[in-house]
Amino acid sequence: MNKSVINNPILTGFNPDPSIVRAGDDYYIATSTFEWFPGVQIYHSRDLKHWRLLTHALTRPTQLNMEGNPDSGGVWAPCLTYDNGLFYLIYTDVKSRNGAFKDTHNYLVTAPSIEGPWSDPVYLNSSGFDPSLFHDDDGRKWLVNMLWDHRAGHNSFAGIVLQEYDVQKKKLIGERKNIFDGTSLGFTEGPHLYKKNGYYYLMTAESGTRYDHAVTMARSINIEGPYEVDPQNPILTSAGRRELPLQKAGHGCLVETQTEEWAMVHLVGRPVSEDYCVLGRETAIQHMVWTADGWLRVKGGGNAPHLEIPSFSLPEHPFPATLDMDHFISDKLGIDWSTLRLPADPSWMSLTERPGFLRLWGRESLSSMHRQSLVARRQQAMYCEAETALEFHPEHFQQMAGLILYYDTRDYVYLRISQDEVLGKCLGIVRSVNGKWEEFPNDEISIEETHSLKLKVVIEGQEAGFHYAADDGEWTAIGPKLNILHLSDEAGDFLRFTGNFIGLCVQDLSGDSKYADFDYFRYSERSKSN
């Protein structure tokens, strides 16, 4: 690999809506987490090339309680900023998003250190989503967010609104003003304000977060406008160029380096096949330059996202490689693990009940938006595999445990152990495609005599194959290779925004809380040619 270049995306797998900030020589990116807990992933770099997942900002229910939130609800588009020794994080908790209405509650948390502790939230407003905080050089602070209009016959994306934030009162003050209606591209969202050479620059995301997504720019000498639109908008987009390896380019955020270079991080998608991005929306980075007449451009010309860019003038700062294997020897889940809507707690998950094992007690079904017993990690490569070993002794068909590929409550593929009246303890594949439950009864096998069972999934682009090994025996394939394109943003009946996860889960639909013990979890990636 060429050390003088940065390869995109820099944050692979489900890591959308990046917000970047510099504090001294350190750079941090916050990304959306939607219904997954903990909320807001925060990555760290010192060279804008090498990144590590450092922490999460929203780690307790007093900051974020998403029980009952819809699929692709929860945390949308965080904004991370830094001013006078304090980190500020703005985020939306989306409680509903069907039909004409969106219930979008916007909050602020702060921390003296990026690793926390982060404060309890300050409520800001609910007028729209994608809130962003701007620290002006006169000490005043301003919130911008897109305005949602539910009325028939009106533009739902009703412009960008501005309101002052009072640090002492911990509330928005003054009049809310609509400062920008957007361009002809429409779907104006993702606002960020910057100030340079006497101008306020308003960067927005437009055209919707799919294949016509774009970054646009406008400027004004007054923060309240009027804003002059960049004559060469959009300044970054993949629209109309399906040959580009990075699609969906949009939702950008700027940072200036200590060496006076400018970078934009932005959202992208990499189709696994045709229009389907199983990995979800990811984060890329571009070199940016300012023109003599004060507009921002992609370095080198054009407005397309580059798969490879020159490194910035910063010392190389790689991080140690992460381990493929989790033996569950810690008393808390590793940083790569997420749970659905609520944090893991001792009522359904333990790493100490049986040291060296992850114990999950079964709760509600995979359709539940309330109390699932599921821990999962992002799929971050098109070609990868994952395996686990578990002990589970179901007593009836309502008890299940195993290895899952999970997009949301409507789309998943599940290699699970259960109990059948004829087969006894059994292993088979079930799946849900756009909410339709499917089974593969001809491939289901009896494992009545086994105590411990290894399960493995091998993902090759748009296909996944499952395998098992009984009591340390040889690996054996089970079921057909399955198309997994339904585990993508594009496959649903309506807009959705996460990527595929690989996880461990247990259900007990009887309410008896049957548990399973997982011995380890291994996740590894490879190139297509391997």
d(CA 425, CA 447): 6
Contacts of 425 (CB under 8 A, 6+ apart): 393, 394, 417, 418, 419, 446, 447, 448, 450
Q: How far is residue 181 from each of residues 58, 172, 213, 317, 393, measured CA to CA in Å?
A: 32, 21, 17, 42, 59
Do residues 74 and 66 touch, judged by C-beta distance below 8 A?
A: yes
Phi, psi of 161 (to 5 degrees): -110, 150
Per-residue burial over 232-258, b if 16 or more Cβ lie within 10 Å, else e, is: ebbbbbbbeeeebebbbbbbbbbbebe
Is 439 a residue of the active site?
A: no
Distance CA(165)–CA(141), nearest Å, equals 5
* Active-site residue flag, 130: no
User: Which residue is it, tokens 């940083």?
Assistant: 335
Cβ atoms < 10 Å from Cβ of 331: 9
Q: Helical H runs in 24-127?
A: none
Query: In the chain, how many H helices and how many E strands?
Result: 0, 40
Asked whether 268 and 214 are in contact (CB, 8 A), the reply is no
Instruction: From the candidates 71, 189, 206, 387, give the one annotated as an active-site residue.
Output: 189
Determine the 3-state secondary structure of 246 from DSSP: coil
| Distance of alpha carbon 106 from alpha carbon 126, whole angstroms | 6
515-530: buried (b, 16+ CB within 10 Å) or exposed (e) per residue? bbbbbbbebeeeeeee
| 182's tokens | 């957007």
The first and second tokens of residue 54, run together, are 């450092």
* Rounded distance between C-alpha atoms, residue 313 and residue 72, angstroms: 38
Task: Enumerate the active-site residues.
Answer: 17, 189
